[in-house]
Structure 1
Amino acid sequence: MSSTTPSFLVIGGGIGGLAAALALAQDGHDVRVLERAPEFTEVGAGLQVGPNASRVLERLGVLDAVTATAFFPNHLTIRDAMSGERLVSLKTGDAFQQRFGHRYFVAHRADLHHALLTACRDSGRIELLPGKEVVEVQPQHPGALVRCADGSVHSTGALVGADGLRSRVRRLLVGDAEPVDSGYVAYRGTVPIEELAGIGGLREPDSMVIWAGPGLHLVQYPVRRGELCNQVATFDTRRYTQHVGDHGAQLRAAFAATCADVRAGIALMNSSRRWPLFDRPPVTGWSRDGITLVGDAAHPMLQYLAQGACQAIEDSVALADRVAAHPGDPRAAFAAFEALRAPRTARVQTTARAWGEVLHVDGIGAHLRDALAAHQAEDDYSVVDWLYGFDAAGTTNAAPQAPDTAHCDPAPDTALHTTREIPA
């Protein structure tokens, strides 16, 4: 069964794939989306959304739908997981909104995915095909021929790979090895706010709180209008090799020495499932001959800046705008898209790695981190201007952008824009 695809074919129906499809459709293009799962759904729990992604969601017309059930924290706070002491906090209220044009909010991943899915269905230009497991991608200059496990074949001159960390499309373009295993794992889940507060496990109910400790951290923030608390417990499994095979015992051992607030949260974690944390170093070469990548397929990153989904959302309008700038020429459009996005996403990838080291540092390093954090004012947004002030959507309400050489994050300047050339 062969099918000639509309203007664009997107492989992957997650947040990145749907956002890309929606942005292209809103510019007048017909799009087909192939999703391997039997239905379009999103797994996971909470999701943090910074202003850099909010302004894109606003342009896509889904921001109101996403924020209808979201929670807007008043602070982003880091606390010591061992002592409970507050280390640093950033206000995210009126002054934050005035600077960046949008509040910082947290939502359930399923709510964001549903808003994008509904908008795609309502667009009239997007064909959504679930149950399409891609088994082969053949380049055809330009574009590709895509074969699915059900025997269907889809031919396109413009292919967008949004198929995640282990992207089949990426292997065709970049051909790199397995993703990098950080050694850390994450346990994720939501619990009723009342249940967590009832056992003393919610120190700041109006904030997004990171409890940082040696080789571990716990993130807590409300979702679904503040009715649930999303928790993410992360730790370095290499420190607890005696508990290999018993995930619950390993989780409890990792957080056994933390303060009472953290232990209360850990006591409510479901330890039956966990996610190993992978990323890849930044690369170039992920756009060629009418094929490109978005989201984790192009630039998978560790979770420490909460930017994985946000960068995929940024990709969507950047891609659509480059297509609009190169009408009828997806090869030129995709090349321009990568040239625009690669430095930005490389910086986020490498800074996420650096922030992981900052959160998990031990000994004298932790004392130095805490001493520096103590001097950070709650309304000093210079440290996040580069991240939240970035304007992928082309609107005018973002914070002014500093020159690209003026780095305000803890990663070394030489690492922030490093990419690795992959021969074509």
Structure 2
Amino acid sequence: MSDRKQSTDVLVIGGGMAGLAGALALRENGAQVTLVERAPEFGEVGAGLQMAPNASRVLKRWGLLGKALEIGVRPKHLVFRDAVTGEELTRQTLGSDFEARYGAPYVVIHRSDLHRILLEACQAAGVRLVNDVMVESVETIGGRGIAHTAAGEDYEADVVIGADGLKSTLRSGVAQDSPVPSSYVAYRGTVPVTADTPPADLEDVIVYLGPDCHLVQYPLRKGELLNTVAVFKSASFERGEEQYGGVDELEAAYADCVPAVREALKNLATGIRWPMYDRDPIENWVAGRLVLMGDAAHPMLQYLAQGACQALEDAAVLQDVSLGTVFTDEGVHAAAWDQAIRDFNTMRAARTSRVQRTARIWGESWHVSGLSRTLRNLLFKSRKDGDFQYNDWLYGRDQPGAPADKDNARTVVLSA
């Protein structure tokens, strides 16, 4: 063990959404928190992000929802259309009834904006933030977690939170697995809104479903930007090529779609594409005093728009299980971490496993063709606006911050 050692109550490894949320949650409980990030500076790549009420409730708990609403957009509807015909299949109004039911609004926001809000909240709360730290391994010695870095400096903490993402180094401590490629890739783009932008694109989240492809559009930054995401099955990715030197695959994937979809492809930045991976769910996220959270624990495909949402849920539950056990009116009881992180793992693993598996099935239903597409469309059209049975399990009344529910909320999944 190195003689160069830094000690803290909580060490968080990873400065993405999950790491920042976890650091903030435990700092609010009174912990001394150090967060280390391998990159030389903090930042978030990508474009738009959908925050369903199960995530915006967590921001509301921390007093950050107002900041998100200042820069984000409250869409009026979530709309699904057939990409080949343009026919509307179903819609969910996201207005007052929706917000009252789930205790918070549906918000779309730029990933970098949400990341900045969480980063500034951590800074204001007194989280110690350190860049250029590559953690190679974590072990538990004498009831404390020891993180060994590439630079030879160790960090010691009562508990270590592994939030190092899809390609987590720390996950090998609990599972010998690898990311699972999905065959699908995404191109993303954000462009300024102009006079030619269709007005409906500035009010709603619109999803076009096509054979082996889909396209999503919604506004960002108070309606000043239009966010577009195109996802399609890629032969080159199936061959093992993460990047591809052309746009012929992209154009061919949407050749049979309506003009509005093909026109939207012009909004994409085609210099880089995003291969889509997840991992198979695992039951155990704990190794000694190391516990995983966020994509390190449960990376998921994007079809339910729940990746960041589930990371925020993780942080809220970790905050709940440690308050009153580890952190009490009598002081900090470090020995209670063993039970707290086991409780966290137990409470979250089944929930996130369901989201991971449903995201896979949901994506399959989006991309069907032939008779399956006809049946899918009929099923979607049978759902009426305001029917919450497909939302309740996910946006949930029994999740962190949800309003009390005296009814028997149905938990049917459309794709299950």
> Using the alignment, how far apart are the partners of 1:388 and 1:358 within structure 2?
20
Q: Spell out, residue by residue over 1:70-113, the C-alpha distance to the aligned partner (whole angstroms, 9 max, x if none).
A: 11111101111111111111100111112112221100111111
Give per-residue Cα distances to partners, 1:366-388, cap 9 Å, x unaligned.
10111111121111111101111
Distance in 2, Cα, partners of 1:390 & 1:315: 16
Q: Secondary structure at the match of 2:272?
A: coil
Match of 1:110 in 2: 112
- Counterpart CA distance in 2 for 1:398 and 1:40 is 37
Is 1:84 the counterpart of 2:86? The answer is yes
Partner of 2:187: 187
User: Which residue pairs with 2:370 in the alignment?
Assistant: 363
Q: Is the 8 A contact 1:142 1:291 kept in 2?
A: no
Q: Secondary structure at the match of 2:143?
A: coil
Listed as ranges, the matches of 1:53-64 within 5 Å are 53-64=55-66
SS class of match (2:5): strand
In structure 1, distance between residues paired with 2:384 and 2:88: 13
- Give yes or no for the alignment of 1:29 onto 2:31: yes
* 1:171-320 alignment, distance < 5 Å: 171-174=172-175, 176-194=176-194, 198=196, 203-238=200-235, 245-320=244-319
Equivalent residue for 2:103, pick from 67, 78, 101: 101
Counterpart in the other structure of 1:342: 349
Secondary structure at the counterpart of residue 311 of structure 2: helix
* Residue of 43, 46, 49 corresponding to 1:47: 49
Q: For 2:136 and 2:246, how far apart are their aligned partners in 1?
A: 33
* CA-to-aligned-CA distance 1:313-361 (integer Å, 9 cap, x gap): 0000101111124322211110000010111111111111111011111
Q: Is the 8 A contact 2:189 2:267 kept in 1?
A: no
Aligned-pair CA distance for 1:399: 5.0
CA RMSD of aligned residues (A): 2.1
| Matched residue, 2:387 | 380
Q: Report sequence identity in percent.
A: 42
* 2:409 equivalent to 1:409: no
Q: Unmatched 5+ residue regions in structure 2?
A: 327-332
- 1:254 is displaced (CA, Å) by 1.0
Give the secondary structure class of the aligned counterpart of 2:323.
Answer: helix
Which residue number in structure 2 is paired with residue 352 of structure 1? 359
Q: Compute the displacement of 1:201 (Å).
A: 6.1
Query: 1:383 aligns to what SS in structure 2?
Result: coil
Output the CA distance in 2 between the equivalents of 1:180 and 1:400.
40
CA deviations 1:263-302 (Å, max 9, x no partner) are 1110221111011111112111112322111100001100
Amino acid at match of 2:286: S
Change (3 A) 1:407 1:94: closer
Cα distance between partner residues in 2 of 1:184 and 1:271 = 15
User: How far did residue 141 of structure 1 move?
Assistant: 5.3
CA distance in 1, matches of 2:379, 2:105: 26
Partner deviation per Cα, 1:146-204 (whole Å, 9 max, x = no partner):
12233321122301000001111111122x2211100100111211121xx62x66654
State the partner residue of 2:140: 139
Greater mean deviation of Cα atoms: 348-357 or 93-102: 93-102
Cα distance, 1:251–1:319 mapped onto 2, change above 3 Å: same
My pick for the range that moved more, 140-149 or 384-393, is 140-149
Q: What is the one-letter code of the residue matched to 1:83?
A: T
Separation of aligned partners in 1, 2:237 and 2:150: 40
Letter in 2 for 1:256: A
SS of equivalent to 1:181: strand
Q: Which secondary structure state, in structure 2, belongs to the residue aligned with residue 66 of structure 1? A: helix
Secondary structure of the structure 2 residue equivalent to 1:274: strand
Which ranges of 4 or more aligned residues in structure 1 deviate by more than 6 Å? Answer: 239-242
Structure 1 unpaired stretches of 5+ = 413-424
2:10 corresponds in structure 1 to 8
Q: How far apart are the structure 2 equivalents of 1:51 and 1:272?
A: 33
Give the drift of 1:411: 4.1
Q: How far apart, in 1, do the equivalents of 2:309 and 2:84 lie?
A: 30
Which residue of 2 is the match for residue 324 of structure 1? 323
Compute the displacement of 1:207 (Å). 0.5
CA distance in 2, matches of 1:218, 1:94: 27
Alpha-carbon distance between aligned partners in 1 of 2:6 and 2:237, rounded to the nearest angstrom: 53
1:69 touches 1:107 (CA, 8 Å); kept in 2?
yes
Whole-Å separation in 1 of the counterparts to 2:159 and 2:28: 17
Cα distance between partner residues in 2 of 1:410 and 1:370? 12
TM-score by length of 1: 0.90
The answer to whether the Cα contact below 8 Å between 1:143 and 1:291 also exists between their aligned partners in 2 is no
